[in-house]
Structure 1
Amino acid sequence: MDVSAWPAKTQDYLKIVFDLTERTGRPAGMGEIALRMGQRASTTTEGVKRLAEKGLVEHERYAGISLTDAGRAVAMVMVRRHRLLETYLVEQLGYRWDEIHEEADRLEHAVSDTFIARIDSLLGRPTRDPHGDPIPTAAGEIESLRVQSLSSLAEGASAVVERINDSDAELLRYLAEMGIRPGVDVTMTGTRFAGMRLVAAGTREVALADAALDAIDVSTAF
């Protein structure tokens, strides 16, 4: 799908709405979108209104924002670009996983579908990016993860890290140092202190704040 007809800001809005709804399983909130866009709520409200007028999103008052089929089609192209570019930056150019989000944000608007197809082929058609997010296919199909946040894991329960929210570079650096990445087994201990919880990962016990626990999605099916 050629998305070049849509302005970069429209592409950003649609990608963010998809990302938020993918992670939470509910329509995106106006405040959440504004925060991710780095702009005032009033600006975001006007932007969403224009997207609704173009048939790209549905917005019911107090019910959040969701993508229409047309909006989802554009979002899938941008999500695929972003996540493949992140993978390319790590695997081929030696970037750390905490360095790639903003870089991919800039590049995704400049590359062509042909360039993305070449990257996809070069990387062996990966299904997940470095943070564990599913990569859509060229046909717009995407894996639906059956996950829960690490914060919801019961005391003593074990799980596998599936993905980690990539919006906090400092957290990503800390998790990398502690050995917590997608594919790693973790166990929720019963130890709490000063707003932190200890999580066992391999031979380590890692202290994580509530916000960090919420940023990590896990699956419990072994």
Structure 2
Amino acid sequence: MHVTELPDKSQDHLKAIFDLQEWGDGSATLGRIAERLGQRTSTTSEAIKRLAAKGLVEHTPTRDPHGDPIPDARGMVTVPEVFSLADAKLGDHFIIDRISDRDPALLRYLTTRGLLLGVTDEVLPRPYPELADLLFVDVSAEHADSAMKGEHVQLPVGSLGAVLCREVDNA
């Protein structure tokens, strides 16, 4: 099958992937493709799976949109060592690895505050015992509009258990 025989939407996905790889930083993540096409990530994921089934793209996601591991073709799962944000100590630097999607309202709350996968944060002194203060230390280009480097976010301590983090690799 030639690419021109594909439906227009499939061609749009291929063009978005090409543009992101050719003119961007080389990473055509589901989130970036969805954003470029004005779609939900789940819609983009299904489209990419169809293109992969036709051999037009390589699609081997290892994580869902909230960071939960996805088994590979052999059923193996790679799970990084993580800790709860509730256990982070003053001065700790961490990378957000997963955000629980069990409570959709809490998930929306956390993501609108800039707690996004891959963002590096630092734990600051608490202004009040039940209020955590975090500093965005490093923000990828993918999240530059949602979480700003150097910005603070304050969260209720009760919400911290919904965020799993991994240590910053200083190597």
Superposed pair shares fold, TM > 0.5:
yes
Aligned to 1:161: 96
Structure 1 residue 119 displacement after superposition: 9.7
Structure 1 residue 199 displacement after superposition: 1.3
SS at match of 1:192: strand
Aligned to 2:68: 133
Find the aligned partners of 1:121 and 1:206 in 2 and give their Cα distance.
Answer: 41
SS at match of 2:75: coil
Pair 1:196-2:143 in alignment: no
One-letter code of the match for 2:167? T
Pair 1:205-2:152 in alignment: yes
Structure 1 residue 210 displacement after superposition: 2.5
Find the aligned partners of 1:198 and 1:141 in 2 and give their Cα distance.
Answer: 37
Aligned to 1:144: 79
Structure 1 residue 187 displacement after superposition: 0.7
More helix by percentage: 1
Extract structure 1 runs of 4+ deviating beyond 6 A: none
One-letter code of the match for 1:158? H
Change (3 A) 1:119 1:183: farther
Pair 1:216-2:166 in alignment: no
Are the counterparts in 1 of residues 97 and 164 from structure 2 also a CA contact under 8 Å?
yes
RMSD: 3.2
Are the counterparts in 2 of residues 196 and 207 from structure 1 also a CA contact under 8 Å?
yes
SS at match of 2:135: strand
Find the aligned partners of 1:198 and 1:173 in 2 and give their Cα distance.
Answer: 18
Please list every run of 5 or more consecutive structure 2 residues that lacks an aligned counterpart in the other structure. 1-29, 44-48, 137-148
Structure 1 residue 122 displacement after superposition: 5.0
One-letter code of the match for 1:215? A
Change (3 A) 1:93 1:213: same
| TM-score of the superposed pair, with normalisation by structure 1 | 0.46
Please list every run of 5 or more consecutive structure 1 residues that lacks an aligned counterpart in the other structure. 1-86, 104-113
Are the counterparts in 1 of residues 134 and 152 from structure 2 also a CA contact under 8 Å?
yes
Aligned to 1:183: 118
Are the counterparts in 2 of residues 120 and 126 from structure 1 also a CA contact under 8 Å?
no
Cα offsets for 1:32-77 (capped at 9, x unmatched): xxxxxxxxxxxxxxxxxxxxxxxxxxxxxxxxxxxxxxxxxxxxxx
Structure 1 residue 123 displacement after superposition: 6.5
